[in-house]
Amino acid sequence: MATSTAKLATSYTLSHLWREVQGSNNWENLLEPLDPLLRNEIIRYGEFVAACYKAFDLDSSSKRYLNCKYGKKNMLKEVGMENSGYEVSKYIYATPDVNIPIQNGATCGRWIGYVAVSSDEAVKRIGRRDLLITFRGTVTNHEWVANFMSSLTPARLDPHNPRPQVKVESGFLSLYTSEEADSKFGLESCRQQLLSEVSRLLNKYKGEELSITLAGHSMGSALALLLAYDIAELG
Phi-psi region of 9 (alpha: psi -120 to 50; beta: other; left: phi over 0): alpha
Reference 55, options 108, 103, 94, 110; nearest CA is 110
Torsion of CA 23, 218, 174, 171, to 10 degrees: 120
Identify the pLDDT of residue 97. 67
Top CATH class, 5-234: alpha beta
Identify the pLDDT of residue 171. 87
pLDDT, mean of each 10-residue run, the chain (235 residues): 43 87 96 96 98 96 95 98 98 77 57 98 97 95 79 90 90 88 68 97 98 97 96 89
Identify the pLDDT of residue 225. 97
Identify the pLDDT of residue 3. 42
Domains in the chain: boundaries? 5-234
DSSP letter string over 4-72?
Answer: PHHHHTTTS-HHHHHHHHHTTTTTTTTTTTTPHHHHHHHHHHHHHHHHHHHHB---TTSTTTTSBSS-T
Using CB atoms within 10 Å of the CB of residue 232, give its burial: 0 to 12 exposed, 13 to 18 middle, 19+ buried: exposed
Q: What single-letter DSSP state applies at residue 229?
A: H
Instruction: Tell me the CA distances in angstroms from 133 to 71, 115, 146, 163, 165, one per residue in order.
Output: 17, 5, 21, 25, 27
Identify the pLDDT of residue 148. 76
Encode 10-37: b = buried (16+ Cβ within 10 Å), e = exposed. Answer: eeeebeebbebbbeeeebebbeeeebeb
Identify the pLDDT of residue 108. 62
Cα–Cα distance, 42 to 143 (Å, whole number):
26
Identify the pLDDT of residue 146. 77
- Whole-model pTM: value is 0.88
